[in-house]
Amino acid sequence: MSDMEVWIVISLLAVATFIARSSFWLVGQHINLPKRVQEALRYAPACALAAIILPDIILTNAEVDLAISNPRLVAGIAASAFFLVKRNMLMTIFFGMAVYTYIRLGL
């Protein structure tokens, strides 16, 4: 992306933050979101995040790589398990990076 395009993206991302966080503040008053809308709002972010990171974790050169030699896959699984037990983001990132580096460098 050109410098100009990146700045356009940054401005639009600021707009996206504003829309999501401030819209109801500006509409004000009590608004009860319909149940189905609430569900959609709750499920969409998890789906988007999964769709972003799973290809990064599972693919090597755009091919599915489920081998134990794939450092991102092993570190991703190890970090998930670690997070589910410890519930601590920073420790999970450190742990996941340690596993990733260990396998990647073949230590």
Partner 1 sequence: MTETVSTELEKAAYREAVKTGIPTLFGVGAWGLVVGVAMIKAGLTVPQALGMTLLVFAGSAQLASLPLIAAHAPVWVVFLTALVVNLRFVIFSAILAPHFSYLPWKKRAWLGYLSGDISVGLFMYRYPEPGFDQRKLPYLKGLIFPNWTAWQVGSIIGILLGSQVPSSWGLGFAGTLAILCIMLPLIMNKAALIGVAVAGAIALATVKMPYKLGLLISVLAGMTVAMAVEEWLEKRHGKSGGQKDGQGRA
Residue whose CB is less far from partner 1, 21 or 106: 21
Q: Pick out residues in 10-69 that bind partner 1 (CB under 8 A).
A: 10-31, 33, 36, 38-59, 62, 64
20 CB-near residues (< 8 Å, 6+ apart): none
Residue 13 CB, nearest approach to partner 1 (Å): 4
Annotate each residue in 75-104 with x if it binds partner 1 (CB under 8 A) or - if it does not, as one string.
xx--xx--xx----xx-xx--xx--xx--x
Q: Is 47 left (phi over 0), alpha (psi -120 to 50) or beta?
A: alpha
53 CB-near residues (< 8 Å, 6+ apart): 76
Residue where the block lists tokens 């398990």: 81
Residue whose CB is less far from partner 1, 28 or 68: 28
